[in-house]
């Protein structure tokens, strides 16, 4: 059984409830400020916002009433099991929700009915994908979590190859979008002209092979099988999954605040209602914080997250890219370059990324990769 200090659990529960209260207040404030809202809707939203703000203040100042009686303990009054932490945190958040969940949620619905969007997805310029008559695919659809490092590996390759692709954001709680895949329930999944391909490494190899068969070898052509270049690509491409991803992940969830920020994307991406977005954000942050600290770090022999990340990037730059090459692939990126770039691009808005760029010599390589990969070729116009 994995144990956490009671003081940490209490603090995280208060922070989760506080975050929910603030989000409820912000959503309700959006509704109350809508110029097209009816007077009754605006009045109701204002009342709900006030209630949510009051609850947030109360959560910040008080000790969770259920902490002593509901936390599962391994030693009396000191620890609680990590496996039940997420549900405990949500249970406490639920107690804060009790008085105003209906008000907050109904107010959010009112905002949508009255034409007020709850969160607009950021749109960035996208470079042109392959012309339809030159693309070897009629349709490509990626099922993903937006910040998942494995999904971002695939997106980096698709952008690099200029392949237009649709994106379906998967609900990490219900995975209802994966109803068509009865046995494989992970992401990424790519559907290419009706054919399902699972696992990021398999997807990248398959897309490369299909582009080659179509005669489109100008970008990302594989080195000759059996050559030193091919062996090097295989070695470092495997290293991304066996080591690099597992070093980056604990860095994303290093602190409770960083864990919360890592799920902010869910408030902007995906076809989920407001209540579901908040549930995903809070439960996801709590779960991943615990898993990262109590499972992943031990499993992969990591003591200091940042030190391990810097060491991994130094290894990559010295032994994969080398002092005389622009990329691991030499003069142009190979699959290993695309995979490492995709993992890093997934966290480009986090402290993890800025710290890595400041404390290693990976930044020049990353900037070269950013130019080579270009902007997103996804069909929804959203940047990666």
Active site residues: 145, 148, 150-151
CA gap 72, 359 in Å, rounded: 41
Length reported for the chain: 384
**DSSP E strands, the chain:** 3-5, 79-81, 140-144, 166-169, 189-192, 195-198
Q: What are phi and psi of 249, to 5 degrees?
A: -55, -50
Q: To 10 degrees, the CA torsion angle through 79, 83, 85, 88? A: -110
Distances (CA, A) of 14 to 18, 26, 104, 110, 288: 6, 18, 19, 28, 17
Q: What tokens does 353 get? A: 């990324």
Q: Work out the burial of residue 282: count CB atoms within 10 Å of its CB; fewer than 13 is exposed, 13-18 middle, 19 or more buried.
A: buried
Maximum C-alpha span of the chain: 72
| Sequence-separated (6 or more) residues with CB below 8 Å from residue 371 | none
Q: What are phi and psi of 327, to 5 degrees?
A: -140, 170
Distances (CA, A) of 178 to 143, 154, 167, 288, 370: 8, 18, 13, 21, 31
CA gap 271, 311 in Å, rounded: 39
CA gap 206, 212 in Å, rounded: 10
CA gap 159, 124 in Å, rounded: 14
């Amino acid at each position: 059984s994995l144990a956490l200090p009671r003081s940490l659990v209490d603090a995280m529960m208060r922070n989760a409830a506080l975050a929910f209260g603030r989000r409820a207040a912000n959503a309700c404030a959006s509704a109350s400020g809508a110029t097209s809202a009816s007077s009754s809707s605006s009045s109701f939203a204002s009342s709900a916002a006030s209630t949510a703000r009051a609850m947030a203040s109360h959560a910040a100042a008080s000790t969770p009433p259920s902490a002593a009686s509901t936390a599962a303990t391994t030693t009396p009054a000191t620890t609680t099991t990590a496996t039940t932490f997420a549900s405990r945190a949500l249970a406490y958040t639920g107690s804060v929700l009790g008085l105003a969940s209906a008000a907050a949620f109904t107010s959010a619905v009112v905002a949508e009915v009255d034409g007020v969007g709850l969160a607009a997805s950021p749109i960035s310029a996208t470079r042109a994908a392959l012309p339809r008559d030159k693309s070897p695919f009629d349709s490509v659809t990626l099922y993903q979590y937006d910040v998942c490092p494995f999904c971002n590996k695939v997106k980096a390759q698709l952008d690099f190859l200029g392949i237009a692709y649709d994106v379906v954001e998967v609900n990490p709680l219900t995975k209802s979008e994966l109803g068509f895949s009865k046995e494989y329930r992970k992401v990424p999944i790519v559907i290419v002209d009706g054919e399902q391909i699972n696992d990021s490494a398999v997807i990248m190899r398959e897309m490369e092979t299909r582009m080659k068969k179509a005669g489109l070898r100008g970008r990302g052509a594989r080195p000759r099988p059996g050559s030193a270049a091919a062996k090097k690509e295989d070695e470092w491409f495997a290293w991304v999954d066996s080591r690099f991803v597992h070093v980056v992940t604990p860095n994303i969830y290093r602190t409770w605040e960083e864990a919360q920020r890592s799920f902010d994307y869910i408030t902007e991406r995906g076809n989920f209602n407001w209540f579901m977005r908040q549930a995903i954000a809070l439960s996801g942050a709590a779960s991943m914080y615990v898993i990262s600290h109590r499972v992943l770090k031990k499993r992969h022999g990591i003591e200091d997250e940042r030190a391990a990340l810097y060491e991994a990037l130094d290894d990559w730059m010295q032994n994969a890219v080398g002092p005389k090459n622009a990329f691991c692939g030499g003069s142009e990126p190979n699959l290993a370059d695309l995979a490492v770039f995709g993992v890093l691009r997934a966290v480009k808005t986090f402290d993890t990324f800025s710290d890595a760029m400041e404390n290693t010599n990976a930044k020049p390589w990353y900037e070269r990769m950013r130019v080579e990969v270009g902007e997103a070729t996804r069909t929804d116009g959203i940047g990666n």
